[in-house]
Amino acid sequence: MRIRAQMAMVMNLDKCIGCHTCSVTCKQTWTNREGTEYVWFNNVETKPGIGYPKHYEDQERWKGGWKLDARGRLTLRSGGRGKRLSRLFANPDLPSIDDYYEPATFDKDILVNAPGGLTDTPVKQPYSTLTGKPMAITWGANWEDSLGGSSGQDDPNLARMTAKVKFEFEKTFMFHLPRICEHCLNPACVSACLSGAMYKREEDGIVLVDQDRCRGWRMCVSACPYKKVYVNHATGKAEKCTFCFPRLEAGLPTICSETCVGRLRYLGLLWYDEDAVLAAASVEDDADLLDAQRSVFLDPNDPAVRQAARDAGMPEDWIEAAAASPVWKLIAEYKIALPLHPEYRTLPMVWYVPPLSPVLDAAGAAGRDDSDADDIFHTIRDLRIPVEYLAELFTAGDTSAVAGVLMKLAAMRSYMRARTLDGTVAQELLDGVGMSAGQVEAMYRLLAVAKYADRYVIPAAHKRQAAELEALGAEHDTCPVSDGPHALEITPLPGRS
């Protein structure tokens, strides 16, 4: 067993209102530069929809992620090492800028300098930032927002479902899906990087591009099945979501989390066994992928695991942070968070609590009571439409796994309603989902009312602290964290409660 720490994220999709604040603040922080106009490290898609870039989930076309070869060995979908080298001069799997969109800017001078007394309102014209010429805007990173572009029917996930479902689908529901880099345990981009410029950080698993070593071979862009590595066409180098590592190192959440209006994001540590990653990514049956991927995580409350972490040199505050991680709770304890497209076999590290709202909508549309747990349970079981779709996204098509999570969310709602309104404990609901009252109430607190410090459990860059404490210890010969004249002054981070 080789224990490693991974900074991971969970997003609770029921709380996403599709406001794009995360996208905008991320763009202001990271990609408001020449050559990255079209780049959104964070984007919010409406599902069903074709996404950004267009149809990125269609791996028959883009050849992203991993697959098992004829002999059952894990291999990049785009082929072996030799094949990739042979495509150095023209990469057939690379999306073009038009698969993203042609970025535009506006001539705002025309508004500012318009003379007074005009009978017509001056209009600012869009200009292409690629050619500098006037252009018509016909696509964008969120063109199909709230099903506005009506491209929902072309969603690659729908193509994998049955025809009947597809037909009735669009009327049924929609939800928002915020996406960032998955910082995978088995990253396809890193594995396809010809120059070895991409790497996974040993300390926290963040996947980064060394800008000095990237040579612009662009295989990372096509290898990532989530299409979250981008070419900066001004510098000729690859760029991607950094998980805001300078903020994390200071103990602060990523900018997308910090500014999330719905407070739907959770950040925390996960421990995993590096030696188990390859086997988990190589399981034969797609339906076993979810359990296999869960199985690589190590329980931060298990004394043996904690000792292993200590032996691996992890500082105490990281061990405590792992035990308090909301991400661990949502993924492994309550088991309500699911990975996005586990069938890509990259072991993504941004997981999602699937939305119950499509099911509630469907229950309402079917004339059922969307506040009654029994009716919701029946809807989950009977109405295959939303559940099958969610299964395509989060469980490689396994509807029972998604239904199980939705049942837990529905049970929690009804249990808490009864608990709050008349103080009763709906034991039959707890039995139905196999959770204790304490668990459900803790889960409710984490999902509904968790404070800043509970949602973001981020140990600050540990080396500095360790070095400081060591120096202090040598100076004072006693534990500095105590009362008295030499007590260490701990300045709390400027957080909120």
Q: What SS3 class is residue 240?
A: strand
Tell me whether residue 133 or residue 171 sits nearer to other proteins (CB atom): 133
Question: Residue 143 Cβ, how far from other proteins at the closest point, in Å?
Answer: 19
Question: Residue 289 Cβ, how far from other proteins at the closest point, in Å?
Answer: 18
Question: Residue 299 Cβ, how far from other proteins at the closest point, in Å?
Answer: 23
Question: Residue 479 Cβ, how far from other proteins at the closest point, in Å?
Answer: 17
Residue 97: closest CA among 243, 256, 218: 218
- Ordered DSSP codes for 15-82: G-----HHHHHHHHHH--STT-TT--SSEEEEESS-TTTTTTT-HHHH--SEEE-TTS-EEETT--HH
Q: Please return the burial class of 440, using the count of CB atoms within 10 Å of its CB with bins 0-12, 13-18 and 19+.
A: buried
Residue 340: closest CA among 116, 137, 182, 144: 182
Q: How far apart are CA 250 and CA 416, in angstroms?
A: 37
Q: What is the CA radius of gyration of the chain?
A: 24
DSSP state for residue 87 in the 8-state scheme: T
The C-alpha angle with vertex 305 and arms to 299 and 309, in degrees rounded to 5, equals 115
The C-alpha angle with vertex 242 and arms to 3 and 312, in degrees rounded to 5, equals 15
Residue 8: closest CA among 224, 227, 272: 272
Tell me whether residue 90 or residue 421 sits nearer to other proteins (CB atom): 90
Tell me whether residue 164 or residue 215 sits nearer to other proteins (CB atom): 215
Contact 214, 197 (CB under 8 A): yes
Question: Residue 269 Cβ, how far from other proteins at the closest point, in Å?
Answer: 15
Tell me whether residue 192 or residue 403 sits nearer to other proteins (CB atom): 192
Tell me whether residue 274 or residue 288 sits nearer to other proteins (CB atom): 274
Query: Is beta strand 207-209 parallel, antiparallel or unpaired with respect to 66-68?
Result: unpaired
Indicate the helix (H) or strand (E) that contains 128. Answer: strand 126-128
Tell me whether residue 209 or residue 393 sits nearer to other proteins (CB atom): 209
Question: Residue 97 Cβ, how far from other proteins at the closest point, in Å?
Answer: 5
Contact 352, 390 (CB under 8 A): no
Question: Residue 329 Cβ, how far from other proteins at the closest point, in Å?
Answer: 27
Q: Where are the beta strands (DSSP E) in 220-277?
A: 229-232, 237-240, 265-273
Question: Residue 191 Cβ, how far from other proteins at the closest point, in Å?
Answer: 4
Contact 191, 223 (CB under 8 A): yes
Tell me whether residue 233 or residue 384 sits nearer to other proteins (CB atom): 233
Indicate the helix (H) or strand (E) that contains 177. Answer: strand 175-179
Q: Which residues of the chain form contacts with other proteins (CB under 8 A)? A: 81-82, 84-85, 88-92, 94-97, 130-133, 186-187, 190-191, 193-196, 198-203, 211-218, 231, 233-237, 249-250, 461, 463-464, 468, 489, 491
CB count within 10 Å of CB 336 equals 25
Tell me whether residue 199 or residue 444 sits nearer to other proteins (CB atom): 199
Tell me whether residue 204 or residue 361 sits nearer to other proteins (CB atom): 204
Q: Which two tokens stand for residue 444?
A: 């409710």
Question: Residue 236 Cβ, how far from other proteins at the closest point, in Å?
Answer: 4
Question: Residue 248 Cβ, how far from other proteins at the closest point, in Å?
Answer: 11
Question: Residue 298 Cβ, how far from other proteins at the closest point, in Å?
Answer: 18
- Ordered DSSP codes for 406-451: HHHHHHHHHHHHHHHHT----HHHHHHHT--HHHHHHHHIIIII--
Tell me whether residue 57 or residue 249 sits nearer to other proteins (CB atom): 249
Tell me whether residue 94 or residue 287 sits nearer to other proteins (CB atom): 94
Tell me whether residue 121 or residue 131 sits nearer to other proteins (CB atom): 131
Intra-chain end-to-end CA distance of the chain, in Å: 38
Q: Please return the burial class of 129, using the count of CB atoms within 10 Å of its CB with bins 0-12, 13-18 and 19+.
A: middle
Question: Residue 307 Cβ, how far from other proteins at the closest point, in Å?
Answer: 23
Q: How far apart are CA 225 and CA 77, in angstroms?
A: 10
